[in-house]
């Protein structure tokens, strides 16, 4: 009965969801500059009649609490809403109006999915067992991100568990991608600055060669460790190398940073009159799901969307700051298929990126089923702790 209710209401709201998503798509704002987007979200939530809305959380974050029958337990959902500094090259009537700014990763779809979730919950408040917190997060696309400042500002206070989703065009519409543990790698940035009166190119080449030996010598056979050196700029006297470290193991990460610093000191001693500076910019931690939370996602999705295809996926070598939430409380993050073979075939961060808008109904439906069964969901997650 509950599943039929959710399906019918989401079906009825789909035209409105398309309208909201396309408004956001035409009016994107890049990370840490999302003031208008945050106000748009706040205004919509107030129109729904939600009383407990907090704004400017961290910087531009918006947090809404919907009161259920029993406030002793709380389930949270998160959607990010920042865009990217990419020029929209699609030939559609909802193309971005802002030069060199575009929702090229689907965050407009994430936001609207959670807004629709809030709308259905407000119209069925008598069926809501516990409180629901909707976290609308700024700044995911650019480290240090918005998740940690929002957590530091208290967005997870009195929250028992959290769920998040990313629409994903590499998966076809009607597919749910999940991982029981590691889902997204940590992605740390670093830079090496070399100054030498004559050997900067040689030192840079030596650093690159020895960096790859760190991976082969210190990572265990089944451990993921990728050091990518993406950019090299050099003159006779100066060189700079930028790179990323991707991993799922914090202890391994500490070891790699230590080895890179020692390598720089060693090369300084080896090459006369050379100075080598190691600059660590950091990044997001690995995203590690809680197994029981993933099981709850699969249960909720299968019940509300019996036609959905379930696909256990290999961990992704991308960063996602939802990881910070999962370092604090139980929960899980999942991928929801949004691709096709025509307009939604382009990868994320591509200037022609687009997605199957029906994916928003899938995301909202799963969120709603979790919310309306919050008592069981939270109980099962606590058993894992």
> What six digits make up the tokens of 53?
């809305």
Q: Is residue 140 annotated as a catalytic residue, yes or no?
A: yes
> What is the rounded CA–CA span in Å between residue 135 and residue 111?
10
**What stretches of 27-178 show up as alpha helix (H) in DSSP?**
35-47, 107-123, 147-152
Do the bridges between strand 186-195 and strand 275-284 make them parallel or antiparallel, or are there none, so unpaired? antiparallel
By CB atoms closer than 10 A (0-12, 13-18, 19+), residue 108 is: buried
The active-site residue, picked from 140, 296, 321, 354, is: 140
Q: Is 107 annotated as a binding residue?
A: yes
257-262: long-range contacts at Cβ-Cβ below 8 A with a sequence spacing of 24 or more? Answer: 257/190, 259/214, 259/218, 260/190, 260/211, 260/214
264 is in an annotated binding site: no
82 is catalytic: yes
CA 88/CA 350 separation, integer angstroms: 9
Structure tokens at 71: 């406030």
H helix or E strand, kind and range, residue 202: helix 200-218
Please pick, among 29, 82, 88, 357, the residue that the annotation labels catalytic.
82
In whole angstroms, give the CA distance from residue 253 to residue 256: 5
Give whole-number Cα distances, 370 to 157, 373, 376, in Å: 20, 5, 9
166 is in an annotated binding site: yes
DSSP string, 225-253: EEEEEEEEEE-SSEEEEEEEEEES-HHHH
The annotation places the binding site at: 105, 107, 141, 166, 349
The annotation places the binding site for Mn(2+) at: 105, 107, 141, 166, 349
The residues that are catalytic are 82, 140
């Amino acid at each position: 009965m509950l599943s039929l209710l959710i399906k019918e209401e989401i079906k009825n709201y789909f035209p409105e969801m398309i309208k909201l998503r396309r408004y956001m798509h035409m009016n994107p704002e890049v990370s840490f500059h999302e003031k208008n987007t945050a106000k748009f979200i706040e205004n919509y939530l107030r129109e729904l009649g939600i009383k407990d809305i907090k704004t400017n959380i961290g910087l531009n974050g918006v947090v809404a609490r919907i009161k259920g029958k029993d406030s002793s337990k709380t389930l949270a959902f998160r959607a990010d809403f920042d865009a990217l500094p990419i020029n929209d090259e699609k030939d559609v009537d909802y193309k971005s109006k802002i030069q060199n700014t575009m929702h090229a990763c689907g965050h407009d779809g994430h936001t609207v999915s959670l807004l629709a979730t809030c709308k259905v919950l407000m119209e069925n408040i008598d069926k809501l067992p516990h409180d629901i917190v909707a976290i609308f997060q700024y700044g995911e696309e650019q480290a240090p991100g918005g998740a940690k400042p929002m957590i530091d500002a208290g967005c997870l206070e009195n929250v028992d568990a959290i769920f998040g989703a990313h629409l994903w065009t590499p998966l076809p519409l009607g597919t749910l991608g999940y991982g029981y543990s590691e889902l997204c790698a940590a992605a740390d940035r670093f830079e090496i600055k070399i100054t030498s009166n004559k050997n900067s190119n040689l030192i840079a080449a030596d650093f690159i060669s020895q960096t790859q030996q760190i991976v082969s010598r210190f990572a265990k056979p089944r451990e993921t460790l990728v050091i990518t050196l993406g950019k090299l700029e050099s003159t006779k006297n100066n060189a700079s190398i930028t790179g990323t470290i991707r991993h799922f193991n914090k202890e391994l990460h500490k070891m790699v940073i230590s080895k890179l610093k020692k390598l720089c000191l060693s090369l300084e001693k080896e090459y006369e009159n050379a100075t080598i500076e190691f600059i660590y910019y950091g990044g997001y931690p690995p995203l590690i799901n809680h197994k029981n939370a993933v099981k709850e996602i699969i249960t909720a999705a299968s019940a509300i969307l019996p036609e959905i295809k379930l696909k256990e996926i290999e961990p992704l070598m991308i960063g996602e700051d939802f990881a910070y939430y999962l370092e604090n409380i139980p929960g899980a993050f999942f991928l929801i298929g949004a691709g096709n073979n025509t307009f939604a075939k382009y990868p994320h961060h591509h200037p022609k990126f687009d997605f199957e808008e029906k994916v928003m109904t899938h995301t909202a439906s799963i969120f709603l089923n979790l919310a309306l069964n919050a008592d069981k969901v939270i109980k099962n997650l606590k058993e894992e702790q």
